[in-house]
Amino acid sequence: MAMRLKIVQVGEPVLRQAARALSMEEIRHPEMERLIDMMRDTMRDAPGVGLAAPQIGLPIQLAVIEDRAEYSRDVAAERLAERERRPIDFHVLINPRIVERSGEQAEFYEGCLSVAGFSALVKRSSAVTVEYLDQHGSACRVEARGWYARILQHEIDHLNGQLYIDRMEPRSFTNMENLGRHWQNLSVEQVRAALGLSR
């Protein structure tokens, strides 16, 4: 049976604190597997492409990520290509750190389960290299581009007490209804032009 956790919203102090690293003993504790399962179920139920432990009130360096194909089935092929968005299998990040970032940046609308109902343009590195431990405590390294790189940066920000609203283009901030009505199918250049923003 799926177990769902409460996702805390912006204003909760835990979202603004740096999360602490997990020890190998904590990672290998049987309760960790249960927590990861509940985080996965909560993320899928939302639905979202990532969930960090601070978002469920726990100040620990743990996040889960999954971008299922069905999440982007209503997105135009042109927008998917622009965002370099492809499905990502479920996986766990423990004590992650970004060890390399591309100088090149990309800007797209981004949302957050802890800032429910809103979205804004956010600039992020187009590619990152991340080192982390998986749910078994094994050391992993991933080189990610496009949407996957964005998700990684977003979740690691959560573990450092940051939200996308700290990085957003303020004039682009919108509720989800208006994102769908006005902005979602435009290129970033068209959005910026409509909002009177220079490149």
Pure H helices in 19-91: 24-27, 30-45, 77-83
Cα atoms in the 13 Å half-sphere on the side-chain side of 40: 16
Q: Is 70 an annotated catalytic residue?
A: no
Q: Which residues of 156-181 are buried (b: 16+ CB within 10 A; e: fewer)?
A: bbbbebbbbbebbbeebebeeeebee
Q: Are 124 and 105 in contact (CB under 8 A)?
A: yes
Q: Are 3 and 38 in contact (CB under 8 A)?
A: yes
Looking only at the bridges linking them, the beta strands covering 105-111 and 118-125 are: antiparallel
Name the residue with tokens 């049976």. Answer: 1
Return the structure tokens found at 34. Answer: 């249960």
Residue 18 is given by DSSP the state P
Among residues 82, 131, 155, 169, which one is catalytic?
155
Residues belonging to the active site: 155
